[in-house]
Each structure stands twice: as structure tokens, then as C-alpha cells.
């Protein structure tokens, strides 16, 4: 009997000594940590793409904990890792994987196999990932003014700065970014995960390809409010393309201060428009056929929309007198009621000709009766 008891005790000790110890997680090297994605869809599975920190690798509802591995050059060699999904039963043993995370600059190549075979493990992670980062301000490479591609298009469509995307249609709200993601080293696309347009939450993307902008946003909640769509080419003000100083033809003065131009006529009070130059474009001799301006070659300066700074009444009076004269020529009823209300506006374009002799030609658009009545730009402009 004593011998049997001793034998049982030895077996118990032997059994206890041979029991496998539970492997402990190891720290994931800093070289492969970060947030990574392949496309915009990776942002909407519960994580912001593939998230790797010192403790685990996460994607969607999956968490991988590494229990064995080491860095070999730029590659993290995973000898053993445990994978769990939220949907797994608590008592279920974790799937075991092995493989590599190969870092090449901003890219991460993920290759995983089942621990005891060459079969793919968690194929959802397989592939070429690129590091991206969260932003709460619109990146500098998007900043600028955008509009139509034709140099004679009126007014910009949309402007972008660090805080907002502002459309230029009347009553347009600003799009304010809350959160977005951009690939490292790439300045062509921003994934918008949350933004507001008025009271509507929006998501989508902003693409800038070869100077052409495309803003496509959808209602984040799928119903209710509206989210805007914008498009256009980047408008630039070329260095040295805007004249400096002041020039006049004796009837109209154009004063340039950086990218701001102030146009003033000789009325009292003077009709004055102060406007920002938002784009410069070359004018060719063939353009004359479209607008019949006297300027053959030079620069087309697109002006930001603006209301007259002063003198609108004198210009309206000048316009009314001109219409009255035309009315009398054609023999129509010529009174205030028949002429109706007159509104004057600042020009949309200033066309500045190349220097020729002592001065240069200048023209304004639109080339209509109102512009001609308010600003007589005939003759030659010379510097003051």
C-alpha cells in the first residue's frame, strides 16, 4: 500500500513539472508600429485601418498578440502570435500564426501563415499597406482657390485653407473638417471620416490630381441633410504677372498693391472697386475673337467678386443717362419706370496688355454697357 501511494505522488509531481507554461506577450518593435491602410474602406471596420502599437496588432474586430519574434533588418519576424476575434467564444483557443511584417519606408508588407503549416493565416491582413496619419486640419497641399479651367471663367468655385472648405455659391456653408486620414508621403488624396456642413455630418474624399480638385462628400448618416460636391482646377497668381505701382489713362486709375488692385474713375464721389487678384493667365492674340477687346496680348487677371467700395450712385446715374440716350434714339418710352432699377457691380477680369511704347492697353470684363459706363479704359495707360 505504501508503495502505491509513493508511486501516485511521483506521477503527480512528474505531471506537474511537464505542464506547458502559457506564453507571454512580447513588445512589438517601434519600427513596425503605426496606422496603415490600403484604401478608404479600411477606415470603416471598427479600427482606423491596421493599428499596431507596442502591445498588439488590430484590424476590425480582430486582435493579434505576438508571443515570439524578433527584428531582422527592417522585418519583424513573428515566430508565434495568437489571434482572437470579438465574435469568438470565450473558451475557444486562439488561432496561432507566424509570418513577417516587412517595413519599406512608409509601406508595410504583411505575410502570415498558420503556425504549423504554409497555409495563409488571417488572409484579411495580407497585402501591401501604407502608413497614414490622422489630421484635424486640412493639409497645406490642398490650400488654395479653385475654379473653372477657362481663364475667362467668372469667380472661383471653392477655396480651401487649414480650417475649412468654402464654396463661393450664394449662401454656401463652409465644410469644417473634424477628422481625416492622409497617406504618408502622398499629396493627392485626403480621406474625410468626419466633417460638418451646416448641421449635416459628412464623409468622403478630397482628391487633387495634377492641379485638378475633386471634393466628393456624402451624408454620414445616409439620410436627411446634404453634403456638397466641388470640382475645379487650382487657380494660381503667377510671380511677376500682376503689375506693381499705379497706372492711369487720365480717366481711370489702377493701383496695384501685391495681389490687390483698386480701380477708381474720375467721378465725384469716385466709383471705386477694390478686389483681390485670384488668378493670372496669359492672353493670346486669338482671344480677341471671343471678346473684341483692344488688348491683343498680355495677362488676364481674374478678380474676386466684390461690391463697389464707393461711388456706386454716380455710376448708376451715369448708366441711367446712357440708357436714356439709347432709349431716345430708338423712340421708346424714356422714363425711370421704363428703364427700371439699375445695379452696378465690380468687374470680373482686368486684362493688362504687354508694354508697348510709353504705356499699355487695359480692358475690363464683362465688356458690356455697365462696365463701359463706369470705367472708360480707352487709350493708353502709363505709370504714375
Contact 257/246 with Cβ under 8 angstroms? no
Domain end, chosen from 235, 264, 296, is at: 235
pLDDT score of 317: 83
Flag whether 334 is in a domain: yes
C-alpha R_g of the chain: 35
Flag whether 11 is in a domain: no
pLDDT score of 338: 66
Kindly indicate the confidence band of residue 371, based on its pLDDT and cuts at 50, 70 and 90. confident
Kindly indicate the confidence band of residue 339, based on its pLDDT and cuts at 50, 70 and 90. low
Regarding predicted confidence, which is higher, 322 or 52? Answer: 52
Flag whether 4 is in a domain: no
Answer whether 0.85 is exceeded by the pTM.
no
Contact 251/289 with Cβ under 8 angstroms? no
In this structure, the answer to whether residues 366 and 259 fall within a common structural domain is: yes
Q: Convert the pLDDT of each residue in 56-76 to its tens digit.
A: 999 999 999 999 999 999 999
In this structure, the answer to whether residues 227 and 263 fall within a common structural domain is: no
Residue 182 pLDDT > 90: yes
Residue that has been written with the C-alpha cell 480701380 in this structure:
263
Q: Which of 210, 214, 219 is nearest to 190 (CA)?
A: 214
Percent of the chain with pLDDT over 70: 93
Name residues whose C-beta falls within 8 Å of residue 56's C-beta, 6 or more positions apart in sequence.
Answer: 25, 28, 63, 64, 65, 66
Mean pLDDT for the stretch of residues 177-202:
96
**Rounded Cα distance, 318 and 313, in Å:** 9
- For the chain, the domain total comes to 3
Residue 37 pLDDT > 80: yes
Contact 80/67 with Cβ under 8 angstroms? yes
Flag whether 2 is in a domain: no
Flag whether 10 is in a domain: no
In this structure, the answer to whether residues 297 and 272 fall within a common structural domain is: yes
Domain end, chosen from 212, 235, 258, is at: 235
Among the listed ranges 159-163, 327-331, 337-341, which one has the minimum average pLDDT value?
337-341
Residue 9 pLDDT > 60: no
**Rounded Cα distance, 137 and 206, in Å:** 13
In this structure, the answer to whether residues 254 and 375 fall within a common structural domain is: yes
In this structure, the answer to whether residues 273 and 357 fall within a common structural domain is: yes
Kindly indicate the confidence band of residue 8, based on its pLDDT and cuts at 50, 70 and 90. very low
In this structure, the answer to whether residues 123 and 146 fall within a common structural domain is: no
**Rounded Cα distance, 134 and 192, in Å:** 10
pLDDT score of 193: 96
Q: How many CA atoms lie within 13 A of 172 on its CB side?
A: 18
Domain end, chosen from 94, 110, 130, is at: 130
In this structure, the answer to whether residues 112 and 214 fall within a common structural domain is: no
In this structure, the answer to whether residues 258 and 150 fall within a common structural domain is: no
Residue 110 pLDDT > 70: yes
Kindly indicate the confidence band of residue 19, based on its pLDDT and cuts at 50, 70 and 90. very low
pLDDT score of 72: 97
Residue that has been written with the C-alpha cell 519600427 in this structure:
31
Contact 243/382 with Cβ under 8 angstroms? no
Among the listed ranges 107-121, 329-343, 353-367, which one has the minimum average pLDDT value?
329-343
Residue 139 pLDDT > 70: yes
Kindly indicate the confidence band of residue 368, based on its pLDDT and cuts at 50, 70 and 90. confident
How many CB atoms lie under 10 A from the CB of residue 265? 22
| Grid coordinates belonging to 105 | 519606408
User: What is the DSSP code string of 323-349?
Assistant: HHHHHHHHT---SHHHH--------SE
Flag whether 15 is in a domain: no
Range of the domain at 75: 24-130
Flag whether 3 is in a domain: no
Kindly indicate the confidence band of residue 3, based on its pLDDT and cuts at 50, 70 and 90. very low
Residue that has been written with the C-alpha cell 461690391 in this structure:
307
Peptide bond into 79 cis (omega under 30): no
| Grid coordinates belonging to 345 | 457691380
Query: For residue 246, what are the CA distances in angstroms to 78, 357, 380?
Result: 71, 17, 13
In this structure, the answer to whether residues 263 and 373 fall within a common structural domain is: yes
Q: Convert the pLDDT of each residue in 248-300 to its tens digit.
A: 999 999 999 999 999 999 887 899 999 999 999 999 888 888 888 989 999 99
What is the distance between the terminal CA atoms of the chain, rounded to a whole angstrom?
124
In this structure, the answer to whether residues 219 and 306 fall within a common structural domain is: no
In this structure, the answer to whether residues 254 and 331 fall within a common structural domain is: yes
Name residues whose C-beta falls within 8 Å of residue 111's C-beta, 6 or more positions apart in sequence.
Answer: 99, 100, 102, 126
Mean pLDDT for the stretch of residues 187-191:
96
Flag whether 9 is in a domain: no
In this structure, the answer to whether residues 371 and 274 fall within a common structural domain is: yes
Amino acid at each position: 500500500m505504501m508503495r502505491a501511494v509513493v508511486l501516485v505522488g511521483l506521477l503527480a509531481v512528474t505531471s506537474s513539472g511537464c505542464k506547458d507554461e502559457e506564453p507571454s506577450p512580447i513588445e512589438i518593435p517601434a519600427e513596425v508600429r503605426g496606422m496603415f491602410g490600403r484604401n478608404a474602406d479600411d477606415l470603416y471596420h471598427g479600427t482606423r485601418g491596421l493599428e499596431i502599437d507596442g502591445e498588439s496588432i488590430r484590424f476590425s474586430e480582430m486582435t493579434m498578440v505576438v508571443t515570439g519574434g524578433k527584428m531582422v533588418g527592417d522585418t519583424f519576424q513573428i515566430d508565434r502570435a495568437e489571434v482572437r476575434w470579438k465574435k469568438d467564444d470565450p473558451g475557444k483557443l486562439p488561432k496561432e500564426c507566424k509570418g513577417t511584417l516587412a517595413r519599406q519606408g512608409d509601406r508595410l508588407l504583411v505575410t502570415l501563415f498558420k503556425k504549423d503549416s504554409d497555409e495563409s493565416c488571417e488572409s484579411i491582413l495580407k497585402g501591401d499597406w501604407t502608413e497614414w496619419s490622422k489630421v484635424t486640419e486640412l493639409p497645406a497641399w490642398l490650400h488654395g482657390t479653385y475654379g473653372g479651367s477657362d481663364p475667362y471663367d467668372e469667380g472661383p468655385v471653392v477655396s480651401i485653407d487649414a480650417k475649412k472648405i468654402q464654396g463661393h455659391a450664394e449662401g454656401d456653408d463652409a465644410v469644417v473638417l473634424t477628422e481625416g486620414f492622409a497617406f504618408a508621403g502622398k499629396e493627392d488624396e485626403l480621406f474625410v471620416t468626419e466633417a460638418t456642413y451646416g448641421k449635416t455630418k459628412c464623409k468622403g474624399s478630397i482628391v487633387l490630381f495634377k492641379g485638378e480638385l475633386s471634393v466628393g462628400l456624402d451624408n454620414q448618416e445616409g439620410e436627411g441633410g446634404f453634403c456638397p460636391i466641388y470640382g475645379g482646377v487650382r487657380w494660381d497668381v503667377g510671380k511677376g504677372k500682376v503689375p506693381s505701382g499705379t497706372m492711369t489713362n487720365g480717366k481711370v486709375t489702377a493701383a496695384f498693391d501685391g495681389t490687390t488692385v483698386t480701380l477708381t474713375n474720375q467721378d465725384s464721389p469716385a466709383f471705386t472697386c477694390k478686389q483681390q487678384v485670384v488668378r493670372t493667365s496669359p492672353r493670346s492674340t486669338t482671344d480677341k475673337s471671343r471678346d473684341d477687346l483692344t488688348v491683343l496680348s498680355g495677362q488676364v487677371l481674374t478678380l474676386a467678386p466684390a461690391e463697389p467700395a464707393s461711388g456706386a450712385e454716380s455710376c448708376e446715374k451715369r448708366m441711367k443717362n446712357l440708357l436714356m440716350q439709347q432709349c431716345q434714339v430708338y423712340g421708346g418710352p424714356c422714363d425711370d419706370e421704363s428703364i427700371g432699377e439699375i445695379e452696378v457691380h465690380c468687374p470680373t477680369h482686368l486684362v493688362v496688355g504687354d508694354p508697348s511704347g510709353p504705356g499699355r492697353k487695359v480692358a475690363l470684363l464683362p465688356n458690356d454697357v455697365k462696365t463701359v459706363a463706369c470705367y472708360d479704359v480707352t487709350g493708353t495707360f502709363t505709370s504714375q
